Structures are given as C-alpha cells and as structure tokens.
C-alpha cells in the first residue's frame, strides 16, 4: 500500500513531463516538479539534492512576486516596515522547526493544517481556476524553496 | 456634528498609535457596526474615513452631480428620462437595501447596475451604459445614496435561494495559484494585517467606492476581479452571473449594516 502511494507520487510529474513534451515544451515548470516524501510532518530530503543558499533565500522571501513572506509574517530584516501578522513571527523559526518541517510548510502547508491561509508554494495539482499566466507553475521553484529553507534555518532568534 | 465626531475618532487613533488593531477592535464604531459585522469604514485609515465624511473631498459626490442631471434628461428612442417614470430620485429610497433581487423575466438575480441598464434598454429604448463607465457608476451611486444610512436587508428566500447557495459556494471555494477563498482572508483573518493593509470583513455596503489605490470610483465587481487577480485566479467578467450571485451572498452577509455609498476606501 505504502509502496503504491509512493509510486503514484513519482508517476504524476512524469506524466506532466510527457504532456509538456507533447505540447511543444513551452512550459518547463511542470516537468521540473520534483517528487518528495513526507515523513512525520516533514520533508527530510532536499528537493534539489543539495543545500540552498541563505542569501538568495532572503531575497526570495522578501520579493513580493515570489515568497512575499512579509505579507503575513515578521522577519528580522531592516528596512522592511509593516510586516503582516496573519502568520507567526519567524524571528526564531530556525530554532523551533527542523529543516524538513520548514520544507513541508513551504511546499504544501495544507498537509499540516487544511484550513490554513498559507499558499502551497510548490504545488500545481488540485488548484481551482488558476490564472492562465500561472497555470501549471508552482509559486517557487525547487531551488527557491531550498534557498528559503536555508534562509529560515539561519533565524535562531536572540 | 458628524464631522466633529469623526475628528475625535481620528485624533483618538493617532494618540494611541501602536495599540493598533487592539484599539480598533474595542472601539465603539456606532452605526458602522451591527453586532459582529463591521463596515470597511472601521478598518480604513483615519484620513480615509475623513475623506469619506467630507462631501467636498469625497469624489463619489462629484460623480453623483452629473448623474443627478442625467436623472431628468430624456434619452433613447422612447424619449423618456428616469424622472418620467420615477419622479424625484428620492423615490429610490430603500431600493439599495434590497438588491440584488430576483428578476422574473431573466430568471436570474439582478443588481442595481443591471436594473439601471434594464430600464435604459427596455423602457427608454436607449443604449445600455458600459460597465465601469462614469455614467453607470454615477447613476448607481445616486440610486444607492438615496438609501444612505438605511440598514441592508437583502432577501435570500424563495427564488433567490439557489443563487444565494451559488454565491456562498464561490465565497468558500479556494481559487488561484495562491489557493485562497474569500473566507480565508475576510472571515478567518479580518482585523489582521496583510502587510500594511488591515483585512476588512469584505462588506459591500459602501460600493461603488472611491478607492485610493484606483484613484477612481469603482464597482463591487471591479473589486471582486481585483481580489481574484491578487490570488492569481482567472477572474470573471463584471456583471457575470457568478459575480452577481457572489454579490447576493456578500450583500446578505452585510444585512444590518447601513448603506454607505459613496464610501472611500484604501
């Protein structure tokens, strides 16, 4: 049972890769989606197979068209006034959560809380009426997810 | 008197800047609150509220001036004006509290904008006004303003019931790349800060509204489209059945709050 579920998870991106290929390959994003495994409320393995870059992660986190984390969260960054407060302050999130737990929260927070307002940053399936410009694309690439995870892991509070 | 009260309220907010949301949550908002329901007015910045309350500063009143002239101007092949059938525009008092309503000939719900255009095409034999045109916005503001201060009282029983259910389903359905339903922001997180903006309860009782971000008066359906765009969802057309049904749901949700057109929002 468990093995077949894993097989299905791996198969989906393959099918999408094929579809993208038939369509002329104009959209690379769909085939870039990496399969992952959830273990005890975490994704233990890096989506890219290597550690992310914390500096790039901070830039992605702040970018309003990418992470846009400050819309809902406080981050310990200067010159970024008026952070939102829908979600928790992230000043010490690198101490309270593991890398794998952070990764799952970025990839698909609804796996932890189905009612959350937090977008799933690395998901293209099961969405409704996505605008044409964003169809089949995750909000962040696997690399960007890893960069943000690496950045958040540096936030240890004081 | 009214302006004096607002000035006091504005001063109060400034003096406790820092207490922020906690202060506004406990404040007595008078007519802008009905039980747990709060008008978008109560989430707006003090300067924005002052702009709404000053008839010379509020751009909605300027738009209404030309609509008032239009009210008695004959147009179309029938040579009729609004006034020829309805008399003085004050006869529209109470109308805005009830809309959208079920319209038998179409078998669908109809909002004020559509009612105005229905009168134009059927009674006046004139061209309908374009959605979001100054003419249609102005006339909508003028008609709604006749109910200013009266509580919203939209019916959802009888023939309206199935359309209400559709609007409700829209409201609670997640959409777009950001995968958010209206309710995720306006029910679950109203009063909280989305970056520098305070999320309101999404009450429609002040529309059409002059929005500072638009630098223009705009319709409720334009706001719906804006929200859909922000969550990166494919929007619907203003005036579409989907948005009219959603308007029915959110208008009923605002029952008890006063009609506040023309409002000013951030």
The answer to whether residue A73 is domain-embedded is: yes
Nearest chain A Cα distance for residue B222, angstroms: 16
User: Domain holding A111: CATH number?
Assistant: 1.10.760.10
Q: pLDDT tens digit string along B25-59?
A: 668 899 999 999 999 999 999 999 999 999 999 99
Instruction: List residues bridging with B101 in a β-sheet.
Output: B110
Residue A34, both tokens: 């990496």
Look at residue A31 and tell me if it is in a domain: no
More confident: A15 or B65: B65
At A29, the pLDDT band (50, 70, 90 cuts) reads: low
Q: How far apart are the first and last CA of chain A?
A: 45
Look at B190 and A18; give whichever has higher pLDDT: B190
Positive or negative: CA dihedral A30, A35, A39, A44: negative
Cα B146 to chain centroid distance, Å, stands at: 14
Structural domain contains residue A47: yes
Query: Which residues from B are below 8 Å from A83, CB to CB?
Result: 193, 195
Of B33, B102, B227, B242, which one is the catalytic site residue? B227
Among B223, B221, B217, B210, CA closest to B245: B221
Say yes or no: ipTM exceeds 0.90: no
CA atoms in the 13 A half-sphere facing the CB of A143 = 6
Who has greater pLDDT, A20 or B181?
B181
Measured distance CA(A151)–CA(A60) in Å, rounded: 10
Inside any domain, residue A30: no
pLDDT cut 90: percent of chain B above it = 89
What confidence score (pLDDT) does residue A16 get?
42
The position carrying tokens 């949700």 is B253
At residue A43, does pLDDT exceed 80?
yes
- Residue A11, in any domain of the structure: no
pLDDT, position B224: 98
- The first and second tokens of residue B172, run together, are 């609670």
| pLDDT confidence of residue A30 | 55
- Position A4 pLDDT exceeds 60: no
* Chain A residues bordering chain B (beta-carbon distance below 8 Å): 70-72, 81-86, 110, 115, 117, 119-120, 123, 127-134, 137, 139
In a domain, A17, yes or no: no
B175 at interface of A, judged by CB pairs closer than 8 A:
yes
| End-to-end Cα spacing for chain B | 24
- Annotated catalytic, B2? no
Does residue A25 form part of some domain? no
Residue B210 to residue B213: CA distance in whole angstroms: 9
Secondary structure string (H, E, C) spanning chain B: CHHHHHHHHHHHHHHCCCCHHHHHHHCCCHHHEECCEECHHHHCCHHHHHHHHCCCCCHHHHHHHHHHHHHCCCECCCCECHHHHHCCHHHHCCHHHHCCEEECCCCEEECHHHHHHHHHHHHCCCCCCCCCCHHHHHHHHHHHHCCECCECCCCCCHHHHHHHHHHHHHHHCCECCCCECHHHHHCCCCCCEECCEECCCCCCCCCCEEECCCCEEECHHHHHHHHHHHCCECCCCCCCHHHHHHHHHHHHHCCCCEECCCEEEC
For residue A24, pLDDT over 80 is answered with no
- For residue range B164-221, what is the model confidence (pLDDT) as tens digits? 999 999 999 999 999 999 999 999 999 999 999 999 999 999 999 999 999 999 999 9
Structural domains in chain B, sorted by start: 2-57+152-265 (1.10.760.10), 66-145 (1.10.760.10)
Q: Which structural domain, as residue segments, surrounds residue A140?
A: 41-153
Per-residue model confidence (pLDDT) at position A25: 36
Q: Which residue of A has its CA nearest to B229?
A: A131
Note whether B40 and B29 are within 8 A (CB).
no
Do residues A149 and A102 touch, judged by C-beta distance below 8 A?
Answer: yes
Q: Nearest CB to B196: which of A82, A134, A137? A: A82
> Which tens digit of pLDDT belongs to each residue from B57-93?
999 999 999 999 999 999 999 999 999 999 999 999 9
Residue in B253, B254, B257, B252 with CA at minimum distance from that of residue B109: B252
Secondary structure class of A24 (helix, strand, coil)? coil
User: In this model, does residue B13 exceed pLDDT 80?
Assistant: no
What DSSP element (H or E) covers A99? helix A99-108
Of B178, B192, B233, the CB nearest to A86: B192
pLDDT at A18 over 80: no
CA–CA–CA angle B207, B212, B216 (5° rounding): 65
Pairing relationship of beta strands B263-265 and B209-211 according to DSSP bridges: parallel
| pLDDT confidence bin for B10, thresholds 50/70/90 | very low
In this complex, the residue of B193, B199, B234 whose CB is nearest that of residue A129 is B234
**Residues of chain B above pLDDT 70, percent:** 90
* Number of domains chain A contains: 1
The answer to whether B216 contacts chain A (CB < 8 Å) is no
Contact (Cβ atoms closer than 8 angstroms) between residue A107 and residue A145: yes
How far, in Å, CA of A100 to CA of A45, rounded?
Answer: 7
Asked if residue A9 is part of any domain, the answer here is: no
**Per-residue pLDDT at B24:** 58
pLDDT in tens, B215-250: 999 999 999 999 999 999 999 999 999 999 999 999
């Amino acid at each position: 049972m468990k093995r077949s579920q894993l097989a299905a998870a791996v198969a989906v991106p393959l099918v999408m890769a094929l579809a993208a290929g038939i369509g002329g390959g104009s959209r690379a994003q769909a085939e870039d989606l990496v399969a992952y495994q959830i273990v005890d409320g975490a994704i233990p393995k890096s989506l890219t197979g290597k550690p992310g870059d914390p500096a790039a992660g901070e830039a992605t986190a702040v970018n309003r068209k990418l992470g846009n984390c400050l819309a809902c969260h406080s981050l310990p960054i200067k010159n970024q006034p008026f952070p939102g407060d829908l979600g928790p302050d992230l000043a010490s999130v690198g101490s309270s959560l593991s890398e794998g737990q952070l990764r799952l929260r970025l990839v698909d927070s609804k796996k932890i809380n189905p009612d959350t307002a937090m977008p799933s940053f690395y998901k293209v399936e099961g969405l409704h009426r996505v605008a044409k410009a964003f169809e089949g694309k995750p909000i962040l690439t696997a690399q960007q997810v890893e960069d943000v995870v690496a950045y958040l892991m540096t936030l240890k509070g004081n | 008197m009214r302006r004096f009260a607002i000035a006091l309220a504005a001063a109060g907010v400034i003096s406790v800047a820092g207490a922020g949301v906690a202060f506004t949550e406990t404040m007595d908002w008078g007519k802008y609150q009905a039980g747990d329901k709060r008008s978008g007015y109560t989430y707006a910045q003090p300067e924005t509220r002052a702009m709404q309350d000053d008839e010379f500063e509020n751009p909605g009143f300027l738009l209404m001036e030309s609509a008032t002239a239009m009210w008695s101007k004959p147009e179309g092949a029938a040579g009729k004006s609004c006034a020829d059938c309805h008399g003085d525009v004050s006869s529209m008092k109470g109308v805005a509290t009830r809309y959208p309503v079920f319209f038998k000939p179409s078998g669908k719900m109809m909002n004020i904008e559509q009612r105005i255009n229905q009168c134009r095409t059927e009674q006046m034999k004139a061209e309908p006004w374009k959605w979001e045109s100054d003419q249609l916005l102005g006339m909508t503001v003028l008609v709604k303003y006749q109910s200013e201060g009266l509580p919203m009282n939209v019916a959802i029983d009888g023939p309206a019931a199935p359309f209400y259910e559709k609007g409700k389903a829209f409201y609670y359905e997640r959409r777009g790349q950001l995968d958010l339903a209206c309710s995720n922001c306006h029910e679950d997180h109203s009063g909280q800060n989305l970056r520098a903006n305070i999320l309101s309860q999404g009450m429609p009782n002040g529309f059409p509204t002059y929005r500072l971000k638009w630098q223009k008066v705009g319709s409720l359906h334009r706001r719906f489209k804006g929200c859909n765009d922000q969550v990166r969802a494919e929007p619907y057309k203003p005036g579409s059945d989907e948005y009219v049904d959603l308007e029915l749901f959110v208008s009923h949700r605002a029952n008890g709050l006063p009609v506040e057109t023309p409002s000013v929002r951030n």
